[in-house]
Amino acid sequence: MKLHLYPTKSALGDAAAAMGAQAIRDAIAAKGRAHIIIATGASQFEMLDALVRQPRIDWSKVTGFHLDEYIGMSDSHPASFRRYLRERFTSKLPTLGAFHFIEGDARDLKAEVSRVGDLIKAHPIDVTFAGIGENGHLAFNDPPADFNVDEPYIVVELDEVCRRQQFGEGWFPTFEDVPQTAISMSIRQIMASDLVVLSVPDARKADAVQNALEGPVSPACPASILQRHPACHVFLDPASASKLSSASLRDADRDPE
């Protein structure tokens, strides 16, 4: 996992978006199309704002997927990830080729999991934009995560730490309102991406960052599996990097200013 350290969330988001955007351009140049995965949550605000403003991307040649969605939630709910992505991503890109949303309120969940799974199997992913949860989760793969499931999307139960993070970020009026289940992209599907760009600001992520980058690869910290990815870049600010060792920080790329 290559570490990039920036002084502010805005600078972090700009740099992460720029790296991902170049990978999108390269994929279009090489193959005629690019396929990407977009994460949600408060950690992605600055990155997404910068990504939709990146120059020289032919968005008509880009197909997108997202990482997860709550089960039973309509896309009009303030916490819906479909709503989040429409407001912050797809509505900003009117020429976007396609975006395949997870219908978490589908009547037949098994069929929906199969539908989005079949779609992503047909589109090898060039870039995954993601984050790390306060409990170390990757997508909604909470600890202990299943590193071996082959299906691209799975139904998962959300642990208390994960649910408290969603409540703490202000998406729900009470903790009890946070759903207990979701459809999530699997660990193996995330690992199949050619490039993984992680945007992880804020002090509340410091423990998870330390465990993911410096701890053992373990289902107890799902994001630690990215230590085994050949091209994973993690973008941090001083707060989220505050518990990393001096050795890790010494090797980090930094804002030249």
Q: So what's the pLDDT on residue 253?
A: 86
Q: What is the mean pLDDT of residues 65-75?
A: 96
3-state secondary structure of 206: helix
Whole-number Å distance between alpha carbons of 115 and 109: 10
3-state secondary structure of 128: strand
Q: What is the pLDDT of residues 185-239, one digit of tens each?
A: 999 999 999 999 999 999 999 999 999 999 999 999 999 999 999 999 999 999 9
3-state secondary structure of 232: strand
pLDDT tier, 256 (very low <50, low <70, confident <90, very high otherwise): low
Q: What is the mean pLDDT of residues 244-253?
A: 91
Whole-number Å distance between alpha carbons of 175 and 61: 40
Q: What is the mean pLDDT of residues 101-114?
A: 96
Q: So what's the pLDDT on residue 67?
A: 96
Within 8 A by CB and 6+ apart from 87, the residues are: none
State the average pLDDT for the chain. 96
Token representation of residue 85: 């992505």
Question: Does the pLDDT at position 78 exceed 90?
Answer: yes
This prediction has a pTM of: 0.95
Q: What is the pLDDT of residues 137-178, one digit of tens each?
A: 999 999 999 999 999 999 999 999 999 999 999 999 999 999
Q: So what's the pLDDT on residue 251?
A: 84
The verdict on whether omega for the bond into residue 144 sits within 30 degrees of 0, i.e. cis, is yes
Q: What is the mean pLDDT of residues 118-136?
A: 96
3-state secondary structure of 222: helix
